[in-house]
Structure 1
Amino acid sequence: MCGRFARRSTQEVLADWFGVEPEDMPFFAPTYNAAPQSTQPVVRPSADTGKPEFALMRWGLVPFWAKDAKVGYSTINARAEEVAAKPLYREAFKKRRCLVPADAFYEWQRIDAKTKRPFAFGMQRGEPYAFAGLWERWKPKEGEALETFTILTTDPNKLAEQVHNRMPVILDPQEYSRWLEPGDPSRPPVDLLRPYPAEKMHSWPVSDRVGNVRNNDLELLTECPPEKQLF
């Protein structure tokens, strides 16, 4: 699964990376410990122009037909093998795909029954990247509409499998347009839902401080040798 990630890139860097004008972006600050139910920026096609735009959404997808928003607590991730058929994600996969900007994601390696060690996963060259995501707009009986998203997961590559049995779906920049464009709803881009090449990534142990959602600082991305972990 993917339950935490970091986005240290500035808005200017992300505007250039995703081809969006900075003045058209909603304000958001870097985060070093994005957690479920937090509000994060995602990239989706503009309803007016079809071009990429940033939107702020809550992490944990609530389908448009849900009776209440509580379902979002269990939908932070969607398994790539299930999105084409599972009612929770089926319509979003056909029509409402998005990109979730990140610079690293965190995963925990189980050492023994009581011990887990956190690792960060980023690109070899340190550039930002994007998870494949889905988004939805849910309208309660009263109040404003809520926009939410989920991150797709797949089998791990050789790097990630040393720590966990799943990893988020990461897309290459040349795949962004195809993932975002509506295309034929009956033929969504299932072929993009595969492990990212391990040789383009690297991982490193980080402090167990990342396990506390109240910690949100750049030091969370600093390499922390196992002997300095505070178990």
Structure 2
Amino acid sequence: MCGRFALLGTPEEIEALMGLMDVEAFPARYNIAPTQPVLMIVSGETPPPGSNRPDRRALLVRWGFIPGWVKDTANYPLMINARSETAIDKASFRTAMRHRRALIPASGFYEWRRDGKNKSQAFWIRPKHGGVIAFAGLYEPWANAEGSEMDTGAILTTSANETLRPIHDRMPVVIDPKDFSRWLDCKTQEPRHVADLLKPAQADFFEAIPVSDKVNKVANMGPDIQERVSEGALEAKKPLRQKPPESDDQMKLF
């Protein structure tokens, strides 16, 4: 799964990677948590006149997917991830898979490996080549009973590759830049046409850096949470499913 991630790239880096123009300035975010706003890139409506850039736009989306048909969120689960293998078959995600696919710029993500009943080790997982990458995402507009609207979203996950499997059995789907247009094209590319993109990253794509438990608290938002700590070699053992620490709902949109 993916319960925390980071976005450290500059607006200029994101513009260059995503083919956007005029991305608003924003600070580096080292500890993005569920219910917080996240940046998503989606397909636009019409090609920009006289532009050779792809037609894309940026959205600020609440991380936590809410299907449009949900009336009351009080008893609805917080859906921050969607399993890519089954999303098209799930009532919650079926419409978004067909009509509202997105890219989520990220510099890496955090995962926790359980080392015992009451002990876990956090890892900062980043691309070896550095820079900004794009997770596959879904978004959905949602309106409450008073008519107030917001966009909500989730990260698509897949089975972990052999490098990350000792830590956790799931990882975010990473979309290669050459496939951005195909993934975002919901007009001519049905879910079955882009199913081949929903796969684990190659084994040498990410590196996992053990970090302290500072990342467990959402209030810790500085670069120190990514500092390496002493850690033995990762043992190739069957992972236990591990939820990230609970968010304290900082920046919550509700």
The answer for the alignment partner of 1:202 in structure 2 is: 207
Judging changes above 3 Å, is the alpha-carbon distance between structure 1 residues 152 and 8 closer, same or farther for their aligned structure 2 residues?
A: same
Structure 2: distance between partners of 1:74 and 1:27:
29
The answer for the alignment partner of 1:96 in structure 2 is: 100
Question: How much does 1:145 deviate?
Answer: 1.1
The answer for the alignment partner of 2:37 in structure 1 is: 39
Judging changes above 3 Å, is the alpha-carbon distance between structure 1 residues 57 and 221 closer, same or farther for their aligned structure 2 residues?
A: same
Judging changes above 3 Å, is the alpha-carbon distance between structure 1 residues 72 and 34 closer, same or farther for their aligned structure 2 residues?
A: farther
Listed one character per residue, the Cα deviations across residues 71-103 of structure 1 (whole Å, up to 9, x for unaligned) are 774210001111010000001001100011111
Select between 87-96 and 71-80 the one with higher mean Cα deviation: 71-80
The answer for the alignment partner of 2:81 in structure 1 is: 77
Runs of 4+ in 1 over 4 A off after TM superposition: 70-73
Over the residues paired in the alignment, what is the CA RMSD in angstroms? Answer: 1.7
Judging changes above 3 Å, is the alpha-carbon distance between structure 1 residues 139 and 58 closer, same or farther for their aligned structure 2 residues?
A: same
- 5 Å matches for 1:44-63? 44-49=42-47, 51-63=55-67
The answer for the alignment partner of 1:180 in structure 2 is: 184
The answer for the alignment partner of 1:159 in structure 2 is: 163
Structure 2: distance between partners of 1:38 and 1:174:
29
Question: How much does 1:186 deviate?
Answer: 6.3
TM-score (norm 2): 0.84
Aligned positions, number: 225
Structure 1: distance between partners of 2:193 and 2:150:
25
Opposite residue 33 of structure 1, the aligned amino acid is: N
Question: How much does 1:58 deviate?
Answer: 0.3
Structure 2: distance between partners of 1:70 and 1:51:
37
The structure in which a higher percent of residues are helix is 1
Matched, 1:218 2:216: no
* Alignment partner of 1:190 out of 192, 195, 201: 195
The answer for the alignment partner of 2:120 in structure 1 is: 116
Q: Secondary structure at the match of 1:119?
A: strand
Contact 1:60 1:72 in 2 (8 A): no
Matched, 1:19 2:19: yes
Question: How much does 1:3 deviate?
Answer: 0.3
Residue identity (%)? 36
The answer for the alignment partner of 1:2 in structure 2 is: 2
Select between 160-169 and 136-145 the one with higher mean Cα deviation: 136-145
TM-score (norm 1): 0.91
Opposite residue 165 of structure 1, the aligned amino acid is: D
> Structure 1: which 5+ residue stretches go unaligned?
none
Structure 2: distance between partners of 1:69 and 1:188:
33
Structure 2: distance between partners of 1:188 and 1:139:
30
Select between 108-117 and 26-35 the one with higher mean Cα deviation: 26-35
Contact 1:26 1:55 in 2 (8 A): no
